[in-house]
């Protein structure tokens, strides 16, 4: 190799990959997956997990060991599959870099073990969205600031949860209700929850009871949500929904 090929000391031999002074992932490389959207029943999840479990030590990954930094520290051929998270379209099906950063920031703030069973009803909804609206990456401005995940214990976190859990799939994009699509109808939450106490709201998820004492139908996946959410998360959801400005006509 000739030095003239390189941006500086370090590099990748004659591979054409030049070192430009940034940090390298040294030692064992941890691999994490974020399954964004609906992946239920998709064999890619097990294939890619298998891939991450076995790529370390392979001749293929060994190619990376030809790459090194200015101190001559080389990338290693050791890879560890460190886990995965799922995110059910918390930022819709058209996302850009800022969304990806926020998703990563949020998921990093979450405990390592994820809920094994996604909400059944929601998988069907997400599938419907995937068909109607294939993922598109939107053009957007470069990121100049770190993206900070919303902290639990706030209405902003409740808003995040509402998006992550797909409330809008049935209750409408602005939660002001929608009807017409089979299995995707829900009442206008913006005129309901602002008038509720936290106790009223908790009754929906703890007992399946609406504010007028009515039993909530199973179309509203309250039992699944009860399993997925902690009390604290439900209370954050409440504080977000409780603070919504009523939207009277929505259709």
Q: Decide if residue 177 touches ligand HEC (CB under 6 A).
A: no
Using CB under 6 A, pick the residue from 52, 103, 167, 176 that binds ligand HEC.
Answer: 167
Please state the closest distance from residue 246 (CB atom) to ligand HEC, in A. 13
Alpha carbons 40 and 125: distance in angstroms, whole number: 11
Q: Decide if residue 37 touches ligand HEC (CB under 6 A).
A: no
Tokens 């298998």, residue located = 50
Start-to-end CA span in the chain (Å):
66
Using CB under 6 A, pick the residue from 31, 52, 102, 189 that binds ligand HEC.
Answer: 189
Q: Decide if residue 210 touches ligand HEC (CB under 6 A).
A: yes
- Which contacts (CB < 8 Å, 24+ apart) does range 169-176 have? 169/122, 169/125, 169/126, 169/129, 170/125, 170/219, 170/220, 172/250, 174/247, 174/250, 175/241, 175/244, 175/247, 176/247, 176/250
Q: Please say whether the dihedral angle defined by the alpha carbons of residues 203, 208, 211 and 214, taken in this order, is positive or negative.
A: negative
Q: Quick one: 108 or 207, whose CB is closer to ligand HEC?
A: 207
Q: Quick one: 92 or 187, whose CB is closer to ligand HEC?
A: 187
Which x/- pattern over 80-109 shows residues binding ligand HEC (rule: CB under 6 A)? ------------------------------
Q: Decide if residue 224 touches ligand HEC (CB under 6 A).
A: no
Q: Decide if residue 198 touches ligand HEC (CB under 6 A).
A: no
Q: Please say whether the dihedral angle defined by the alpha carbons of residues 152, 155, 160 and 165, taken in this order, is positive or negative.
A: positive
C-alpha dist (Å) from residue 190 to 14, 79, 150 = 61, 48, 22
Q: Decide if residue 165 touches ligand HEC (CB under 6 A).
A: yes
* Cβ–Cβ < 8 Å for 93, 129: yes
Written as six digits, the tokens of 120 are: 């059944």
Using CB under 6 A, pick the residue from 75, 149, 176, 220 that binds ligand HEC.
Answer: 220
Q: Decide if residue 208 touches ligand HEC (CB under 6 A).
A: no
Please state the closest distance from residue 191 (CB atom) to ligand HEC, in A. 9
Q: Decide if residue 217 touches ligand HEC (CB under 6 A).
A: yes
Q: Which residues here bind ligand HEC, judged by CB under 6 A? A: 121-122, 162, 165-167, 169-171, 185-187, 189, 192-193, 204, 210-211, 216-217, 219-221, 225, 237
């Amino acid at each position: 190799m000739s030095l003239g090929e390189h941006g500086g000391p370090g590099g990748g031999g004659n591979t054409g990959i030049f070192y430009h002074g940034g940090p390298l992932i040294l030692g064992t490389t941890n691999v994490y997956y974020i399954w964004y959207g609906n992946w239920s029943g998709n064999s890619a999840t097990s294939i890619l997990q298998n891939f991450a479990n076995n790529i370390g030590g392979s001749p293929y990954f060994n190619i990376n060991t030809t790459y090194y930094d200015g101190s001559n520290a080389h990338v290693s051929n050791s890879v560890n599959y460190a886990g995965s998270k799922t995110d059910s379209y918390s930022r819709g099906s058209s996302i850009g870099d800022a969304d990806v950063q926020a998703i990563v920031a949020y998921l990093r703030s979450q405990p390592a073990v994820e809920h094994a069973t996604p909400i059944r009803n929601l998988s069907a909804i997400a599938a419907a969205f995937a068909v109607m609206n294939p993922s598109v990456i939107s053009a957007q401005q470069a990121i100049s600031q770190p993206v900070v995940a919303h902290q639990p214990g706030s209405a902003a976190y409740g808003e995040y949860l509402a998006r992550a859990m797909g409330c809008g799939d049935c209750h409408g994009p602005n939660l002001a209700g929608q009807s017409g699509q089979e299995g995707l109808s829900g009442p206008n939450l913006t005129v309901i929850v602002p008038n509720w106490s936290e106790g009223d709201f908790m009754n929906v998820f703890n007992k399946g009871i609406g504010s007028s004492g009515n039993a909530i139908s199973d179309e509203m996946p309250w039992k699944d949500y009860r399993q997925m959410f902690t009390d604290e998360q439900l209370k954050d959801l409440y504080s977000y929904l409780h603070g919504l400005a009523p939207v009277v006509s929505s259709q």
